[in-house]
């Protein structure tokens, strides 16, 4: 790997994971509002709704720029998932509960290697930036999880107005880091958003593949603990 001066890290399923998982939280919340759905049904509804979001982005419709901004996006997203499992019109308390739940640090967990990896990269004088498709709550969530100060910056799609894999968010991260694209490495769990998106923007990329399912030909790591030896060995 060439000399890397900045490492960009995705957030969800790269640095941290929902605990309990998103599907589990949605299912329990729906049940409290009288809608009993199977785990498979909720899983399918969540993923089908994200596919709709991705299809809209491909048409040039950025998720955070629709009516109502962030709040409007989550209203439409949760409402679509709820309708897909037979819930009909979404109750307002359901949305409020889910938004509040996912903003609490108690419902997220860092992957065990994260603190040590961040410390090693900072000791190697590599700039660290979070680059994530998240809403504006991410910086404060990272602070409450104790890792915000490990990063030089946090680039969030809801604030920038552009979501991965659009190159605009990578361009903004490169600008803020003060490096050229070829000196930056982006690391994340999504083959489309993180891996192909970063490479199309001229960055180096690694796919975080904790389950060992990376497609042939992609450059992947099983854990972030593999990062420091790759980045600092020069």
Contact criterion met (CB below 8 Å) for 5 and 184: yes
Where do the domains of the chain lie, and which CATH numbers do they carry? 6-17+107-232 (3.40.50.1000), 20-106 (1.10.150)
* pLDDT at 233 exceeding the cut of 90: no
**What is the C-alpha to C-alpha distance for residues 34 and 50, in angstroms, rounded to an integer?**
24
Best CA proximity match to 73, nearest among 158, 170, 192: 158
Q: What is the pLDDT of residues 75-121, one digit of tens each?
A: 999 999 999 999 999 999 999 999 999 999 999 999 999 999 999 99
pLDDT of residue 234: 63
Q: Could you tell me the pTM of the whole model?
A: 0.95
Instruction: State the distance between the two ends of the chain, measured CA to CA, in whole angstroms.
Output: 9
- Give burial (CB, 10 Å; 0-12/13-18/19+) of 118: buried
DSSP 167-203: HHHHHHHHHHHT--GGGEEEEES-IIIIIIHHHHTT-
pLDDT averaged over every residue in the chain: 96
Strands 184-188 and 127-132: unpaired
């Amino acid at each position: 790997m060439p000399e890397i001066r900045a490492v960009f890290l995705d957030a969800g399923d790269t640095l941290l994971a929902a605990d309990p998982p998103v599907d589990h939280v949605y299912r329990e919340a729906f049940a409290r509002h009288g809608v009993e759905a199977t785990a498979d049904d909720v899983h399918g509804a969540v993923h089908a709704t994200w596919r709709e979001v991705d299809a809209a982005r491909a048409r040039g419709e950025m998720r955070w720029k629709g009516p109502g901004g962030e709040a409007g996006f989550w209203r439409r997203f949760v409402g679509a998932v709820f309708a897909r499992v037979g819930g009909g019109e979404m109750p307002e308390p359901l949305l409020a509960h889910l938004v509040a739940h996912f903003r609490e640090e108690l419902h997220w967990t860092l992957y065990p290697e994260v603190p040590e990896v961040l410390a090693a990269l900072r000791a190697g004088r590599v700039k660290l930036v979070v680059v994530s498709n998240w809403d504006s709550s991410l910086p404060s969530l990272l602070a409450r999880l104790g890792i915000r100060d490990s990063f030089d910056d946090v680039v969030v799609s809801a604030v920038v107005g552009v979501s991965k894999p659009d190159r605009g968010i990578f361009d903004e991260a490169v600008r803020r880091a003060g490096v050229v694209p070829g000196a930056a490495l982006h690391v994340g769990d999504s083959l489309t958003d993180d891996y192909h998106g970063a490479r199309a923007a001229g960055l180096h990329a690694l796919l975080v593949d904790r389950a060992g399912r990376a497609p042939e030909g992609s450059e992947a790591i099983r854990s972030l603990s593999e990062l420091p030896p790759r980045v600092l060995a020069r």
